[in-house]
Structure 1
Amino acid sequence: MVVRRIGVVEDHASVVLGIEVMLADSPGLAVVTSATTVPELLAGRPDLDLVLLDLRLADGSSPFTNVEALRAAGLEVLVFTGAENPYMVRLAAKAGVLGIVRKSAPVDAVVEAIEAAAAGLPVVTTEWAAAIDGDPDLSEVGLSPRQQEVLALYASGEKADRVARLTGLSRETINDYVARIRAKYAAAGRPAATKVDLYMRAVEDGLLPMPERPA
């Protein structure tokens, strides 16, 4: 069995213990490390599949900076927070997290979100949707109609060969388009280094529909 390794950045020990209890019946998930700050976590050079990050930490750090640092270290992030500040939620969403889950959510919903994020999948919640819908500052990236078409197909899960067949372009051209799309998003301050990032950017810009949460 593949066990997904989880790290937690949280300055309340009781919350870390609560996460461990919630995951006790999920043999495929294990909390292997925790820290009160992102630099402390990264100092241990952790080999993790996912980091659970609180938005409001005692060190006063910015959610955007924290997510950027974790992503730069090759770590995916799921926000697990009780913070109600919409601005902080938007900062985290714009930095490229896999999703945002409230500490007040039902245990089953939290575990489901962690399982999905640990597998590298985006976690669709009302908080994430609200962060996108309520953000007036998402910078335009200026994609051409053709680039928008390629992004919508590629970010929806299609492989480059399939996108090439659907658009009548060569695979090399599709790869070039994707590289240019990533560069445009990076220049706009909305990085899209992974396919999940591209999916989120496509949703943010209305090129793909906001997926519905499972019932």
Structure 2
Amino acid sequence: MTAPVRVLVCDDQALIRTGFATIIDAQPDLEVVGECGDGRAGVELARRLKPDVVVMDVRMPVLDGIEATRQLAGAGVADPVKVLVVTTFNLDEYVYEALRAGASGFLLKDAPPPQLLQGIRTVASGAALLAPEVTRQLVGRYAERIKPVNEKEPELPLAPRELEVLRLIAEGLSNSEIAAALVISQETVKTYVSRILTKLDLRDRVQAVVYAYRRGLVS
């Protein structure tokens, strides 16, 4: 049998924290290994317990979820932890900052239980939880903040078709939409996406979107 996905729940509201833990623990393939009510405790517990996924609230005392995420999953972290951010407000400023800090995706706190559970499984598998329509809204709202600065950067190590796929990812297209646009199979799209992430040393599609905007590949 495959070992269950180990989950750490971080939220300063006890009712929400307990609710999440109860829902998660009821699943045979998921296991709550710890709970906490502030970001600093979340960082300490994550480093000690080494969960597969941290369900992280954004607004918490002592250390907020953004900084906690940065310490657990940000650039330069030797052994990064996958973080799933939960928030009360869709696409608020804190969510964008959390994604930049290294989160693998986000959900709304009022998402139905099946969506939370699927989100945890998705992030645990190494995929990003950021729906294409959400990507479009995200980059539309924060594109100016992601715009590249005037500095010399190395040439992109991408083939023309890979570059084309990266631009479509940044525009918020799903794999099926990219396949239709380029008249190729979804499996071929998945192969291109995997190559892009590997060549650019990116973890997931969220990072690919931010990267493309920073490099000025989309506007």
- TM category (shorter chain) comes to 0.5 to 0.7
- Identify unmatched segments of 5+ residues in structure 1: 161-174, 183-191, 208-215
Tell me the CA shift for residue 155 of structure 1. 6.6
In the alignment of these two chains, the number of paired residues is: 175
Asked if 1 retains the 8 angstrom alpha-carbon contact of 2:43 and 2:68, the reply is: no
143, 146, 158: which one pairs with 1:138? 146
Match of 2:119 in 1: 113
Partner residue, 2:71 = 69
CA distance in 2, matches of 1:88, 1:155: 31
Deviations 1:58-114 (A, max 9, x none): 33x444322111113521100012145721111112212111100111111111111
Q: Structure 2: where are the runs of 5+ without partners? A: 167-188
> Which of 46, 51, 57 is the matching residue for 1:48?
51
Equivalent runs, 1:162-201 vs 2, <5 Å: 178=199, 181-182=200-201, 192=202, 195-196=203-204, 199-201=205-207
SS in 2 for 1:122: coil
Within 1, Cα distance between the matches of 2:91 and 2:130?
Answer: 19
SS in 2 for 1:93: helix
Q: Provide the rounded CA distance (Å) in 1 between the counterparts of 2:5 and 2:11.
A: 19
SS in structure 2 of the partner of residue 157 of structure 1: helix
Q: Which amino acid aligns with 2:55?
A: L
CA RMSD of aligned residues (A): 3.1
| Aligned residue in 2 for 1:104 | 110
Judge which range, 98-107 or 126-135, deviates more. 126-135
Name the counterpart of 1:10.
11
Q: How far does residue 10 in structure 1 lie from its aligned partner after superposition?
A: 0.8
Residues in 2 aligned to 1:89 and 1:202: alpha-carbon distance in whole angstroms: 17
SS at 1:5's partner residue? strand
Cα distance in 2 between the residues matched to 1:146 and 1:38: 37
Over 3 Å counting, the alpha-carbon distance change for 1:201 and 1:43 in structure 2 is: closer
Letter in 2 for 1:156: V
**Structure 2 Cα separation of the partners of residues 23 and 17 of structure 1:** 10
Normalising by structure 2, report the TM-score. Answer: 0.67
CA 1:140 to 1:38, structure 2 compared with 1: closer, same or farther past 3 Å? same
Aligned to 1:29: 30
State TM-score, norm by structure 1: 0.68
Change (3 A) 1:2 1:159: farther
